[in-house]
Structure 1
Amino acid sequence: MKGSSQWFTIGLVSAWYASNIGVLLLNKYLLSNYGFKYPIFLTMCHMTACSLFSYVAIVWMKLVPLQTIRSRVQFVKIATLSLVFCTSVVSGNVSLRYLPVSFNQAVGATTPFFTAVFAYIMTVKREAWLTYVTLIPVVTGVVIASGGEPSFHLFGFIMCLGATAARALKSVVQGILLSAEGEKLNSMNLLLYMAPIAVLFLLPATLFMEENVVGITIALARNDIKIIWYLLFNSALAYFVNLTNFLVTKHTSALTLQVLGNAKGAVAVVVSILIFKNPVSATGMLGYMLTVIGVILYSEAKKRSK
């Protein structure tokens, strides 16, 4: 039984890695290599899939118990989270049009830095001094990686930094808004409510900022039907990223999840370089390694401070 449990956990982690890295690489391929330059519409496809799959998984298949929204105030809090989440995903997708996945992951690794900053600003929560010291290599590594990145693009870098900051802000805001005992939602139920609200936010943005994207997609499909399959598969993967993340969290410890998350970023970098063959300098790799080491030290310092 113990062996079966270990293999089950390994399978879950593998599925989490595959879906996470898969959606990242497919986003890059669609937005940059394939030439489908509509990141807001792509994000809306992701959120639509998350809405449908979440409903099937929770309401029909009952993978987790359904948690209901208990008040209008709680709904407003979830809507606020959804807006921050939209900003993060759209900004991340926009950045993939201009930056290689390897550099995108290097910048994304600075999430702990932004989390610590927002936690201090919004909750005046101070960490141990050692925790703040470990953030120095996290930021320094990205500065070095930026200077050594052959494909550096300022606008792409700003969008990637914005996506990372928004991701950190979401985690802090989620902790503040849904901290009351009656308002806590597990990640799958939170996604069930956030995804449809995200679609409502993204729909007008798509119509105004990416005019006639549906017509353009249909025209592309007439020439190459694969674009439809790419979008469907990509959107399904976006949901399975959330599902496998929830299951891995459920079947492992928080510390294990942090370690696996750090390793996942490194794996994504290697795989993206092998697939897209984007040029990488020794300085850039040194900067990314320094950032990863800083994140590992940060995780260890957080664990000791508890």
Structure 2
Amino acid sequence: MSAMKSTGRFFTIGLVTSWYSSNIGVLLLNKYLLSNYGFKYPIFLTMCHMTACSLLSYIAIAWMKMVPMQTIRSRVQFMKISALSLIFCASVVSGNISLKYLPVSFNQAIGATTPFFTAVFAYLMTFKREAWLTYVTLIPVVTGVVIASGGEPSFHLFGFIMCVGATAARALKSVVQGILLSSEGEKLNSMNLLLYMAPIAVVLLLPATLYMEENVVGITLALAREDFRIIWLLLFNSALAYFVNLTNFLVTKHTSALTLQVLGNAKGAVAVVISILIFRNPVSITGMLGYSLTVMGVILYSEAKKRSK
């Protein structure tokens, strides 16, 4: 029995490790491509990610049978998934645009305020009230980001607005997903949801790419003639984007939602440290204090939510 238990533990550790590395890997690669390498096409990059998610989701579900295939039951359900896909696109594109202007460490500090936006949207859209203590814990979450913004040497207003937009859109997606796909007949697991959302996202992003980043394919091919590495980087980055979703699903399935939250908070901190070591972006003491305050707030928020249940 103990051998079974330790195998299970190793499996979970392996899963969490792959979730961390794919998550942080995609973040750092996006940052490298968009600002260090000079590949200034965040919408096209998101479209590559969504294309990979479409293909790999299909392979994982239809061929490898990782989870049973769930079908779309009605036109209404399809419209709901399309709406989710639009919000999802907005969050990923804004996040990628912000990486063009902001260091990963600051990007993660803003990203940590997701619970604040989730609480706001949940209240506005479902009138769902949390216990007052839960709202109190959101004060350090937001205060920390305000402090971090003031102390951020590489602060960029447009990048900051884009990052806040991405964080808000991410929170909105989780609230909307809870409302839209809450009835038993419409529930999709996240793997199946991605299978339907990703192709819709590609269709939505294609005109945006062609209009806002004209001739991006031509430019990418011209770049590839000079340096073929760009093709490998884009392919690897896109596959990694799918792997983030896959490992996220598996970690959720094999651990509890609370464990996922705790691991998620720690992941942000790990990403910050790694990005500072790799990109050597200047960091101020104020910035780090602000970020630590936000993470503390998020941990208290998870605790308060757990108690109020």
Do both proteins adopt the same fold according to a TM-score greater than 0.5, normalized to the shorter chain? yes
What's the TM-score once normalised by structure 1's chain length? 1.00
Residue 257 of structure 1: aligned partner: 260
Query: How big is the shift at 1:121?
Result: 0.4
Residue 148 of structure 2: aligned partner: 145
Residue 61 of structure 1: aligned partner: 64
Residue 12 of structure 1: aligned partner: 15
Listed one character per residue, the Cα deviations across residues 47-82 of structure 1 (whole Å, up to 9, x for unaligned) are 000000000000000000000000000000000000
Listed one character per residue, the Cα deviations across residues 118-173 of structure 1 (whole Å, up to 9, x for unaligned) are 00000111100000000000000000000000000000000000000000000000
Residue 237 of structure 1: aligned partner: 240
Residue 303 of structure 1: aligned partner: 306
> Which structure 2 residues correspond to residues 26-105 of structure 1 after superposition, within 5 A?
26-105=29-108
Partner residue of 1:223 out of 223, 226, 242 = 226
Partner residue of 1:276 out of 273, 279, 296 = 279
Partner letter of residue 179 of structure 1? S
Counterpart Cα distance in 2 of 1:114 and 1:259: 18
Query: How big is the shift at 1:246?
Result: 0.3
1:183 maps onto 2:186 in alignment: yes
Partner letter of residue 5 of structure 1? G
Listed one character per residue, the Cα deviations across residues 166-221 of structure 1 (whole Å, up to 9, x for unaligned) are 00000000001111110000000000000000000000000000000000000000
Structure 2: gaps (5+ residues): none
1:118 maps onto 2:146 in alignment: no
Counterpart Cα distance in 2 of 1:175 and 1:271: 33
Counterpart Cα distance in 1 of 2:88 and 2:184: 23
Counterpart Cα distance in 2 of 1:10 and 1:298: 25
What's the TM-score once normalised by structure 2's chain length? 0.99
Counterpart Cα distance in 1 of 2:37 and 2:18: 25
What's the % identity of the aligned pairs?
88
Partner letter of residue 282 of structure 1? I
Query: How big is the shift at 1:240?
Result: 0.2
Partner residue of 2:132 out of 101, 123, 129 = 129
Counterpart Cα distance in 2 of 1:180 and 1:16: 29
Counterpart Cα distance in 2 of 1:295 and 1:279: 25
Counterpart Cα distance in 2 of 1:145 and 1:77: 36
Query: How big is the shift at 1:6?
Result: 0.2
Over the aligned positions, Cα root-mean-square deviation in angstroms equals: 0.3
Query: How big is the shift at 1:262?
Result: 0.3
Partner letter of residue 130 of structure 1? L
Structure 1 residue ranges, 4+ long, deviating more than 2 angstroms after superposition: none
Query: How big is the shift at 1:223?
Result: 0.3
Partner letter of residue 21 of structure 1? I
Partner residue of 1:107 out of 110, 113, 138 = 110
Structure 1: gaps (5+ residues): none
1:195 maps onto 2:195 in alignment: no
Residue 160 of structure 2: aligned partner: 157
Counterpart Cα distance in 1 of 2:137 and 2:49: 35
1:167 maps onto 2:173 in alignment: no
> Which structure 2 residues correspond to residues 205-224 of structure 1 after superposition, within 5 A?
205-224=208-227
Query: How big is the shift at 1:254?
Result: 0.7
Counterpart Cα distance in 2 of 1:93 and 1:28: 8
